[in-house]
Structure 1
Amino acid sequence: MKEAWTQRLLQSVSGFRNKRRPVWLWLPVLLLVVLSCLPIFYIVMRASEVGWEKAIGLIFRARVYELLINTVKLAFTVTLVSVLIGVTTAWFVERTRIPGRKMWNVVVTLPFAVPAFVSSYSWISIYSGFEGFGGAVLVLALSSYPLVHLPVAAALRGMDPALEEISRSLGYSRMQTFFKVTLPHLRPALLGGAILIALHMLAEFGALAFLNYDTFTTAIFDQYNVAFNSASAAMLSLVLLVLCLVILGLELLIRGKAKYASVGKGTPRKRELISLGWMAIPALIGFTVLAVLAVGVPLGTITYWLLTGTSAGFDFPEVFSSLFSTLAFGAGGSIVTILFAFPLVILAIRYRGLFSTLSDRLPYFIHSLPGLVIGLAMVSFAVRYAFPLYQTAPLLLIGYAVLFLPLAQSSIRGAMEQVPKQLEEVAGSLGKNPLTVFFKVTLPLVAPGVGAGLSLVFLEVMKELTATLLLRPTGVDTLAVKIWEHTSNAEFAASAPYAALLILISGLPVYLLTMRSFTQKKEG
């Protein structure tokens, strides 16, 4: 009797496993694919209006070659420096007895709360000599390395301590163990952070505009807003798309087919931390210098401008109006992005196939496009086919979702891959429909990843500038927009209240992300 019931259950599970993709999954994914393709359609449409002969002439010219060198050099250097900083800080926080470990874990993630364009104007207002390649690498690396620190720190916490202990017992030094055992197991997390940084460098605008360093993004902005040359801008965008494809291809090649998951975590046990001894002093000096450069300089500069100049007579109702708009767009944009990301991740993990794979990679491809191109594509679509959406909040929220979907994807995917598929299959075999299984089984298990995704997207939406400039409703300003307007006119004191508020509220999601990591550590 028991064997017959077991066989029947297995047959039911097998039937549940082989069901086709449910409509509630592929319909929103299909809608997302269409929305994500709008920027590509827009670029191709603009490029096709030029004609092949002129298009080739616009692409193969000295200016494009110069922009290509500048963009690749910046993306490679900033990614490399960010990886070195992020891996180093994560290792010290997670593997050593450095004094004040918990405090430093919070401090090294705080640069995430400081928008890159705020940091850039802080450095420029101190000394104009920070303009150019060196200043761009300094500012952007200090703003980006938390994207490596956070996932690498999580990967270090999740590693089985026995792996490193066995290596040490075989006679390998700590350095050899790190490169032969630890670093290979960090590769997925490290690559995930690195690819986000590299793609973000392709799309970065605000900081580079202040630092006077030309890349494809700044050139595209100039062509659209200064020269009014949409054909040239479209050609530059096409080159940027090809560059993005190259980066994604390299990432897949480096990632390879290696697998790092363990069959089981076993019994949790406390990891033995490394005593630094005399090395504690240089380590503390390094962490202090990093905190001063990444957080101290922007905060100090903003404080200085708050206390001097014209900021004392500023219109505070306008400040709080911008604050309210920023919070509202941040909350709305993060929720819409998560709603799009959920079916995309489930489809990619539970219903693998060509459509699922292409849909899963498309947002990373679009993420490399400047917010300006995304905004122009949305404006063009609304004016031609959905005019009631033009300059409305819903269109802006859709633009945010298209821009920042990879952040939500990576957070949810990390949690989703740890959910045993058998739990969902058994629930389905007991007569529960897919939606019920999702809300009763899957969602509670991936809630931490959802929270991390919401925090990351909320943070990025509040700091977003170029798409917001184009898509925001008439008469509505965000803190980032007001900072841009004032700093573009060298009104540093006038922009200080907005910058201070933006950093203050951006600190909340950073704090939540940091506290979540320590909660996981205690539970482990």
Structure 2
Amino acid sequence: MSSTVVKSVAVSEVLASVKRPPLYILVPALLVALCMLIPLVYLFLRAGQAQPDQLLELVFRPRNAQLLLNTLSLTGGVLLICTFLALPLAWLVTRTNIAAKRFLTILAVVPLAVPGYVMAYALLGVGGNMGALNQLFGIRVNNISGYWGAVWALSLYTYPYIFLNVRAALLGLDSSLEESAQSLGYSKSMVFLKIILPHLLPALLAGYMVVGLYVLGDFGAVALMRYEAFSYAIFTQYSGAFDRIYAAWLSIMLLALAVSFLVVEALILKRKRLASVGSGVTRPARMFELGKASPIAWLYILVVLGTSIGLPVAMLSYWLLIAPPDVSIFWQVPWTFLRSASAAAPAAILAAALALPVCYLSVRYPSRLTSMIERSTYIGYALPPLTLALAMVFFSLQTAYFFYQTLGLLIVTWTLATLALAMGPIRSAIMQTRANTEEAAYALGYSPAATFYHVMFPRLRRGILAALALVFLFCMKELPITFLLAPTGYSTLAVTVFSRTSEGMMAEAAPFAAAIVIFSSLSVGMVLNREKIKGSR
């Protein structure tokens, strides 16, 4: 009897001790949070080197106002076109009797496999003297470039983000709200404007936030289209004019613009309540009969999907089959792919390793401190890519010069940029693992370290593998950070496509662009698999 009491007391002491975060979890998580602050600290340190009179001249240059206007115009144009592409498409596959809904939904997500710079490559390959239209049909049109080129390249790539958000919101909307409005005499158009659209606002804003932040940080499509936004100006100031203090202030302005987007979203959604408060269960909406409008709907779908999927496929096919490059170019593709993977794989492993203690700490030991540590991991993802890359340049030059222009610096920066991506699957896996399994291990005499290794880690394998895949795929097609930080002579698939396209070598860029599209399709497959798309409810 006494031995049982002693054992129970010992187990109780172990359980009480593990309520506090163990040092082997807390210390790595704190180091991760400190590492996430490095880009911000060094960015502001570099910007602070400006003299007071120089600071006023840098901040209030007339060019900055033009860059701000250009960037806001680009973002607004992309969001507007994305809405017109995504909202009707989401309505058709959720609220109408249109055929092949599942297939159409899958096709609507496929453009995510075509990065913005590849979409820009496709648009640039249409017009001009050497363009596909002139070579095949004798029709010469001017190249789509500048503002509208950048808007369309980014819109055709990013509209699926808004489509997925709006589609999910439409599927979750209680149809009784619409029925009640109609019983009160509202027309169908008024029901949409007064009932449905306000309930879609959070989904639209979520999509707008993803697309808006991407547009702010995009460099590839903007540079290829020769449109001067903040990201393009940051790169030219750093690489061409060597005015790094001005580049730092441009980066801070771009960061402030990104933060303002987050603040505006929070203010719009503040105190907004859209949940149903009545009794009963949510009923699926009644499908709208297209009838005579069916041909118009199919024409719209054909235009959207034909442009976002058919155009890049057609351009790649043209440059690969009808006007192919030299055979030696094709032999370079696998080596370039392996070169890209040799940096992406370590970045994925490092990101998963850093995310693991942070996720475990935030889930098992929730507190104000652990919440702050978890939120710090989103700094790298929220920073515009060129801003993050430039901050890491300043860090290496001022603190670790041996790290400057090395593959290690690129891998570390990729890790900081993608840590938030790795957090999601791992945190979900930890939340789905019951805490009493660890308590049972403690009761059997396992130490906290042994419990984590033997009990927790095997249950986290699926989440860790998902995190590895997400980060790996992101790094394989990432351009802005790679272009700024890659060692001299180190060329990935993304950098090769961008460099050759910017020099007008469309045929030489085609094999590498095709490799990116094919490989990026794996990420689209993961999205479809995780979302478990259904055609209707």
- Check whether TM > 0.5: yes
> Are residue 96 (structure 1) and residue 110 (structure 2) matched?
no
Mapped partners of 1:502, 1:302: distance in 2:
11
Q: Check whether the contact 1:335–1:454 (CA below 8 A) recurs between aligned residues.
A: yes
Alpha-carbon deviation of 1:82? 2.2
Residue 25 to residue 174, structure 1, CA distance change in 2 (3 Å): farther
After the TM superposition, which of the residue ranges 91-100 and 365-374 deviates more from structure 2?
365-374
Q: Deviations over 1:302-357 (max 9, x none)?
A: 21111355613334332111112334444444444344445556666776665555
Unpaired segments ≥5 residues, structure 2:
1-7, 128-141, 443-447
The alpha carbon displacement at 1:400 in A equals 1.5
1:75 aligns with 2:89: no
The Cα of 1:371 is off from its aligned counterpart by 2.9
Structure 2 counterpart of 1:282, from 296, 305, 312: 296
User: How far, CA to CA, are the matches of 1:457 and 1:89 in structure 2?
Assistant: 29
For the 8 Å contact 1:116–1:140, the answer to whether it is kept is yes
CA distance in 2, matches of 1:59, 1:236: 8
Match of 1:138 in 2: 152
The match for 2:307 is 293
Q: 1:271 and 1:343, CA in 2 relative to 1: closer, same or farther beyond 3 A?
A: farther
CA deviation digits over 1:353-382, x for unaligned, max 9?
A: 655555555555544544333234334434
Q: Which has the larger radius of gyration?
A: 2
Deviates more, 1:213-222 or 1:126-135: 126-135
Q: Is this contact kept in 2: 1:306–1:312, CA < 8 A? A: no
Q: Report what 1:314 is aligned to.
A: 328
Say whether the 8 Å CA contact 2:329–2:511 is kept in structure 1. Answer: no
Q: Secondary structure at the match of 1:130?
A: coil
Counterparts of 2:292 and 2:469 in 1: how far apart (Å)? 38
Aligned-partner Cα distance in 2 for 1:166–1:343: 49
Instruction: Find the counterpart in structure 2 of residue 3 from structure 1.
Output: none
- 1:105-161 Cα shifts (integer Å, max 9, x gaps): 111111111111111122123234422222221111111111222233344445566
Compared CA separation, residues 266 and 397, structure 1 to 2 (3 A): farther
Equivalent residue of 1:65, what SS? helix
Give the structure 1 partner of residue 133 of structure 2: none
Match of 1:31 in 2: 31
Partner of 2:258: 244
Q: Which amino acid aligns with 1:144?
A: T
SS in 2 for 1:233: helix
Q: Over aligned residue pairs, what C-alpha RMSD do you find?
A: 4.1
Q: Distance in 2 between matches of 1:456 and 1:146?
A: 17
- Counterpart-to-counterpart distance in 2, 1:91 and 1:343: 42
Question: AA paired with 1:204?
Answer: D
Q: Could you say which residue in structure 1 is the equivalent of 2:208?
A: 194
Contact 1:308/1:493 (<8 A) preserved: no
- The separation in 2 between residues aligned to 1:165 and 1:440, in whole angstroms, is 51
Match in the other structure for 1:207: 221
2:527 matches 1:487: no
Deviation at 1:453, TM superposition (A): 5.8
Are residue 504 (structure 1) and residue 518 (structure 2) matched? Answer: yes
Output the amino acid matched with 2:521: G
Amino acid paired to 2:85: I
Tell me the CA shift for residue 24 of structure 1: 5.5
Q: Which range is displaced more, 435-444 or 112-121?
A: 435-444
d(CA) in 1 for partners of 2:307 and 2:20? 53
Letter in 2 for 1:72: L
Unaligned runs of 5+ in 1: 1-7
Counterpart of 2:243, as a letter, is N
Which residue in the other structure is 2:4 paired with? Answer: none
Cα contact 1:392–1:472 (8 A) shared by 2? yes
Q: Measure the CA separation in 1 of the matches of 2:371 and 2:174.
A: 30
**TM-score normalised to structure 1 length:** 0.81
**Aligned-partner SS, 1:226:** helix
User: Deviation per CA, 1:1-39, whole angstroms, max 9, x where unpaired?
Assistant: xxxxxxx9xxx9xx9899445545544443333222222
Query: Match of 1:400, as an amino acid?
Result: W
- Measured after TM superposition, the shift of residue 46 of structure 1 is 1.7
* AA of the residue aligned to 2:300: G
Distance 1:194 1:233, change over 3 A: same
Amino acid at match of 1:118: V
* Shift of residue 444, structure 1, vs aligned partner: 6.0
Give the Cα separation in 1 of the matches to 2:295 and 2:335.
Answer: 46
Point out the more displaced range, 99-108 or 254-263.
Answer: 254-263
Give the one of 247, 257, 260 matched to 1:233: 247
Cα distance in 1 between the residues matched to 2:438 and 2:66? 57
Q: Contact 1:117–1:206 at 8 Å: present in 2 too?
A: yes
What residue in structure 2 maps to residue 477 of structure 1? 491
1:446-457 to 2 correspondence within 5 Å?
Answer: 456-457=470-471
Residues of 2 paired with 1:410 and 1:187: CA distance?
Answer: 24
For 1:109, what is the secondary structure of its paired residue? helix
1:116–1:139 Cα contact (<8 Å) kept: yes
Equivalent in 304, 314, 326 of residue 340 of structure 2? 326
What secondary structure is seen at the aligned counterpart in 1 of 2:241?
A: coil
Which residue of structure 2 aligns with residue 462 of structure 1? Answer: 476
Counterpart-to-counterpart distance in 2, 1:101 and 1:360 = 38
Please tell me whether the aligned partners of residues 68 and 229 of structure 2 are also in contact (alpha carbons under 8 angstroms): yes
Instruction: Judge conservation of contact 1:455–1:513 (CA < 8 Å) in 2.
Output: no
Percent identity of equivalent pairs: 34
Deviation at 1:70, TM superposition (A): 0.9
Distance 1:23 1:219 in 2: 45
Distance 1:173-1:29 versus aligned 2 partners, 3 A rule:
farther
Distance in 2 between residues matched to 1:453 and 1:191, nearest whole Å: 26
Rounded Cα–Cα distance in structure 2 between residues aligned with 1:445 and 1:257 = 37
Look up the match of 1:53: 53
Give the structure 2 partner of residue 4 of structure 1: none
What number of residue pairs does the alignment pair up? 505
User: Structure 1 stretch 336-345 or stretch 295-304: which is displaced more?
Assistant: 336-345
Shift of 1:260: 6.7
2:36 and 2:380 in contact (8 A); partners too: yes
Separation (CA, whole Å) in 2 of partners of 1:215 and 1:253:
26
Please state how far the C-alpha of 1:393 moved relative to its aligned partner. 4.6
Residue 262 of structure 1, CA deviation: 9.0
Matched, 1:337 2:351: yes
Partner of 2:269: 255
- Secondary structure of residue in 2 paired with 1:99: coil
CA–CA distance in structure 1, aligned partners of residues 219 and 143 of structure 2:
19
Q: Distance in 2 between matches of 1:388 and 1:516?
A: 41
Cα distance in 2 for residues equivalent to 1:187 and 1:438: 44
1:66 is paired with a residue whose SS is helix
Alpha-carbon distance between aligned partners in 1 of 2:210 and 2:257, rounded to the nearest angstrom: 14
**Are 2:429 and 2:462, in contact at CA under 8 Å, matched by a contact in 1?**
no
